[in-house]
Amino acid sequence: MSTAHTTIDFGRNGKQTGYVDFPHSPHDDAWGATRVPLAVIQNGNGPTAILLGGNHGDEYEGPITLGELIRDLDPSEVNGRIIFLPALNTPAVLAGKRTSPVDGLNLNRTFPGDAHGTITQQISAYVSNVIMPLGDAYVDLHSGGSSLNILPSAIIEPSSDPDLHRRNIAAVRAFGAPLTVVIDNLGEPRTSTASAVRAGLVTVGTEMAGGGTVSLDALDICRKGVRNVLAHLGILQGPKTPAETPPKEDTILRIPGHDGYVLASRDGVFEPFHALGAQVEAGQEAGRIHNLGDPTCEPVILRYASHGIVYGRRNPGRVVVGNCCVTVAAPYDGVLN
């Protein structure tokens, strides 16, 4: 049983704002708590959407968008219920870090969590065990964070259930991002969207630029996209993308497994050869890694293992072995509906 506590009543109409408190007893606070912001807006008989931001603390467009919605939405505009967790990994959000400064964990690799584990594991357990069972749809807003700059896109988390897969595609396309990309994180089961799909929720992810900054273009896409999805679900009034309209095959991409990632083979400084969005081919030079401490040392060339477009690119120049330098997205050849 979770020791988390909130004063929010998930069954009450109106707008409620508050926190989920996770007991936390570090050296300098014997009886304290880690407080995670939580809000609920409920009215009418429509479905429940769960909206998350701040899964990683250095990804800013999601928390900004959800904070605005919490402040601006009136319950009379809502038909159903919206549950907001705008700064899910609060310790990481306050520190501007991908991982939690409390326990060093990446929240998005801890699902379904552990109610008696570390703070990060307790947060993911609360989402898995308390929040997800309340929902019909799940939106987790990400960007590239400090280490990647990614073309703004809405993300399809694959599902083995054909009907859920179809509904996921419809909801992701309703978001209205410039790109739609299938990402399964190499089959990683511990992400929040993978857990949401296992729970049977219509699931939407995003990647909204990154580079450790706030992108005005990506923020605009995110603001409109969240409202588009809520309209698609019937929770808000607004334009809808008809689910019965088949997506065009050339508008959906996917990261083609391991071949979609160009990883650093040595320490040094990475020089990319292509801009985001560039068309590339397997075997083509992707960039090179320089040893700046030894000018006699020839740079190491990295090559693409897949054709497609340059979808994501490392933001800091300095890399160590295994860092992701470039990500490629190729046309998706799976079932679309």
Q: What are the pLDDT digits (tens) for 226-237?
A: 999 999 999 999
Query: Do 284 and 220 reside in the same domain of the chain?
Result: no
Place of tokens 């293992």: 305
Quote the pLDDT of residue 241: 43
| pTM summary value | 0.93
Quote the pLDDT of residue 246: 44
Quote the pLDDT of residue 73: 97
Whether the CB-CB separation of 269 and 320 falls below 8 Å is answered with no
Query: Do 208 and 104 reside in the same domain of the chain?
Result: yes
Query: Do 99 and 18 reside in the same domain of the chain?
Result: yes
Q: Which residue has the higher pLDDT, 216 or 250?
A: 216
Quote the pLDDT of residue 336: 64
Q: Is residue 109 part of a domain?
A: yes
Q: What is the pLDDT of residues 153-193, one digit of tens each?
A: 999 999 999 999 999 999 999 999 999 999 998 889 999 99
Q: Is residue 250 part of a domain?
A: no
Query: Do 237 and 262 reside in the same domain of the chain?
Result: no
Boundary of a domain, candidates 214, 245, 276: 245
Query: Do 264 and 238 reside in the same domain of the chain?
Result: no
Query: Do 184 and 324 reside in the same domain of the chain?
Result: no
What's the domain range around 234?
A: 5-245
Q: What is the mean pLDDT of residues 81-91?
A: 97
Q: Which residues of 187-203 are buried (b: 16+ CB within 10 A; e: fewer)?
A: eeebbbbbbbbbebbbb
Q: Is residue 289 part of a domain?
A: yes
CA distance 330 to 333: 9
Query: Do 19 and 164 reside in the same domain of the chain?
Result: yes
Query: Do 241 and 283 reside in the same domain of the chain?
Result: no
pLDDT-above-70 percentage for the chain: 96
CA distance 53 to 45: 25
**Across 130-134, 184-188, 243-247, which has the greatest mean pLDDT?**
130-134
Q: Which residue has the higher pLDDT, 110 or 336?
A: 110
Quote the pLDDT of residue 24: 87
CA nearest neighbour of 203 among 216, 194, 190: 194
Q: What is the mean pLDDT of the chain?
A: 93
Give the Å distances, CA to CA, from 9 to 15, 17, 140, 162, 265.
10, 10, 22, 34, 52
Q: What is the DSSP string of 31-50?
A: TEEEEEEEEEEEESS--EEE
Query: Do 133 and 214 reside in the same domain of the chain?
Result: yes
Structural domains of the chain, count:
2
Q: Is residue 337 part of a domain?
A: no
Q: Is residue 235 part of a domain?
A: yes
Query: Do 98 and 195 reside in the same domain of the chain?
Result: yes
Q: What is the mean pLDDT of residues 198-209?
A: 97
Boundary of a domain, candidates 219, 245, 271: 245
What CATH number is given to the structural domain containing 325? 2.40.50.100
CA distance 54 to 204: 15
Tokens of 314: 């490392």
Query: Do 289 and 225 reside in the same domain of the chain?
Result: no
Q: What is the mean pLDDT of residues 77-99?
A: 97
Which amino acid is located at 65 in the chain? Answer: T
pLDDT band at 1 (very low <50, low <70, confident <90, very high): confident
Query: Do 158 and 291 reside in the same domain of the chain?
Result: no
Which DSSP helix (H) or strand (E) runs through 155? Answer: strand 148-156
Q: What is the pLDDT of residues 295-314, one digit of tens each?
A: 899 999 999 999 999 999 99
Boundary of a domain, candidates 194, 221, 245: 245
What CATH number is given to the structural domain containing 212? 3.40.630.10
Q: Is residue 54 part of a domain?
A: yes
Q: Is residue 251 part of a domain?
A: no
Q: Is residue 252 part of a domain?
A: no
pLDDT of 337 higher than 80: no
Strand-pair partners of 272: 287
H runs (alpha helix) in 159-244? 162-175, 192-198, 216-232
Q: Which residue has the higher pLDDT, 24 or 117?
A: 117
Q: What is the pLDDT of residues 22-45, one digit of tens each?
A: 998 888 888 888 999 999 999 999
Strand-pair partners of 298: none
